[in-house]
Amino acid sequence: MRLILELSGEHPAIPFEEVKAILPVFDQNTQVLIAEAPAIDILDRFAYTHSAMIYHATCAADRESFIDMLTGLDITSHEPFCGRVKKMADHGMNVPSGELERLIGYHIHGKVSVSAPKRIFRAIIAGGTCYFGELVWELDRTPYHTRKPGKRPFFHPGVMMPRMIRALINMSGALPGEWILDPFCGTGGTLIETSLIGCRAAGTDADLEMIAGSRRNLPAAMAAIADARHLPFPDQSIDHVVSDLPYGQSVTIIGNGLNDLYQLALSEIKRVVKKGNHSVLVTHQDIRPLAEQYCEIIGYYEQRVHKSLTRRILVIR
């Protein structure tokens, strides 16, 4: 089915990239994608998609085109419905949202109910284009809040939030049943999110306390003490690696410092991941010149966390 996806504005690229790694995409605009999905429930895996509509039509962002689009669709609803409009920052449409919502109610045949609609027809206006469809899915943030690191049995500061971890897993293109390895698994956040989307999770860490903590946070986890420079996995036995690499603050650094660790870990990642597959690595310094020695860089994104910390996200093949 063809869907119109409304994306989060929290990052200019990550919400787009996590969807594009999983679903075919046909159009892209400010916080909007048109994508093809096999079923609605696949949307539950996306962390930065706010809502989805069944695709009905698009038109130019002006009143006449909007009316022509609604007239041409000739929609009849046998259940109470309402119309809603969302304008992005660059919408380019000078007609007030309230008037557009009244036009939706006027041109769709049926009973309008603003207070208790059974169906919601929605227009998203971005970049001079109006995207119109019926709302079928909205993100439930509650499970992410319940999985915050501070609410787990074992906590360690400096770890990523579940939504970001989930997005990184999606950016790898991982499919249900595939193996995802985190060679610096820490408290097990990647293992938890991996398991929740139906992938098989494996985690290693050089720190005994972290492995013990991972097992407390996810008792069924396949987690073991291991040196990321010498991973205990056969060649091409892992589908994807998704990992936040250590950077020297409150973590165990083995070997001859970070550069040695990164270089040998990249060599091992190249060895254990199946050829042609994507992996996602997070660092706190730009390691692209080093990474290019071992893999092809497919994407690079930066996310500012706070004044002294910027995440560098690499998608590699």
Let me know whether 47 and 8 are in one domain: yes
Q: Residue 262: which H helix or E strand, with range?
A: helix 258-272
* Residue 143 domain flag: no
Sign of the torsion formed by the C-alpha atoms of 13, 16, 22 and 26? negative
Range of the domain at 298: 148-316
Domain shared by 251 and 171, yes or no: yes
| Same domain flag for 219 and 97 | no
**Claim to verify: residue 30 and residue 109 sit in the same structural domain:** yes
Could you tell me if 256 and 230 lie in one domain? Answer: yes
Residues 155 and 134 in one domain: no
**Per-residue confidence of the chain (317 residues) as pLDDT tens digits?**
999 999 999 999 999 999 999 999 999 999 999 999 999 999 999 999 999 999 999 999 999 999 999 999 999 999 999 999 999 999 999 999 999 999 999 999 999 999 999 999 999 999 999 999 999 999 999 999 999 999 999 999 989 999 999 999 999 999 999 999 999 999 999 999 999 999 999 999 999 999 999 999 999 989 999 999 999 999 999 999 999 999 865 445 566 678 899 999 999 999 999 999 999 999 999 999 999 999 999 999 999 988 778 999 999 99
Contact 123, 86 (CB under 8 A): yes
With H, G, I as helix, E, B as strand and everything else as coil, classify residue 6: strand
Residue 32's Cβ-count burial label (10 Å; 0-12, 13-18, 19+) is: buried
Domains: count for the chain: 2
In whole angstroms, how large is the CA radius of gyration of the chain?
23
The pTM (predicted TM-score) of the whole model is 0.95
CATH classification of the domain holding 282: 3.40.50.150
Rounded CA separation 198/188 (Å): 16
Clarify whether residues 132 and 153 are in a common domain.
no
What is the CATH number for 114? 3.30.2130.30
Q: How many residues does the chain have?
A: 317
- Is 227 found in the same domain as 116? no
Same domain membership, residue 256 and residue 120: no
In the listed set 90, 107, 138, which residue is the last one of a domain according to the structure? 138
Is the Cβ–Cβ distance between 195 and 179 less than 8 Å?
no
171 and 89 in a common domain: no
Residue 42 CB: number of other CB atoms within 10 A? 17
